[in-house]
């Protein structure tokens, strides 16, 4: 009884119907196992003796494409795994590049800070106009020389030169 099958009914009206089905429990004459899931291509072909006569019957054809569907699913999983693997490799590659760039930037910043510290030290102990040592450097060096002379019980001499109209 195919009265509730819309594809059979369409074939009885003269239409050829093809469909892809997932049969949870296919009980057809050529089914392998009633408990297996089957992917089927079903075709309903109207049968007539001549094209003008009414449909005498319906030729029903099933093709089990379960193995093809399973092969496609396996291929999809392999593609997903390949894409995930490639994305992981790309992520690791980019992570390596970013970390290397970060180390280079940190080294450059450290070198820049060291150069700025040296520049500030030079500016603190030298005259900006002439570049000659200033009083702060003299005081630092004098205190160091006085401490060294006191430890070694030595004498220390200082010579003071005054230049008139130096800036002119």
Q: Over the Cα atoms of the chain, what is R_g?
A: 48
Residues 156/164, Cβ–Cβ less than 8 Å:
no
State pLDDT tens for residues 83-122.
999 999 999 999 999 999 999 999 999 999 999 999 999 9
- Per-residue pLDDT of 4-55, as tens digits, reads 888 888 888 888 888 877 665 555 555 555 445 678 888 889 999 888 889 8
Residue listed under structure tokens 């430890």: 151
Give the number of other Cβ atoms within 10 Å of residue 58's Cβ: 20
Question: Which structure tokens are listed for 4?
Answer: 């509730």
Q: What is the DSSP track for 70-121?
A: HHHHHHHHHHHHHHHHHHHHHHHHHHHHHHHHHHHHHHHHHHHHHHHHHHHH
The answer, as to whether pTM is greater than 0.85, is no
């Amino acid at each position: 009884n195919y009265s509730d099958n819309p594809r059979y009914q369409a074939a009885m009206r003269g239409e050829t119907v093809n469909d892809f089905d997932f049969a949870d429990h296919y009980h057809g004459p050529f089914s392998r196992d009633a408990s297996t899931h089957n992917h089927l291509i079903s075709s309903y072909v109207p049968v007539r003796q001549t094209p003008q006569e009414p449909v005498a019957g319906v030729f029903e054809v099933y093709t089990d494409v379960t193995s093809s569907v399973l092969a496609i699913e396996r291929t999809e999983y392999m593609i997903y795994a390949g894409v995930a693997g490639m994305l992981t490799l790309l992520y690791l590659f980019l992570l390596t590049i970013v970390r290397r760039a970060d180390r280079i930037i940190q080294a450059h910043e450290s070198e820049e800070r060291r150069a700025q510290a040296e520049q500030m030290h030079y500016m603190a102990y030298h005259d900006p106009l002439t570049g000659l040592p200033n009083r702060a450097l003299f005081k630092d060096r004098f205190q160091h020389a006085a401490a060294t002379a006191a430890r070694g019980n030595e004498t220390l001499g200082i010579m003071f030169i005054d230049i008139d109209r130096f800036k002119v």
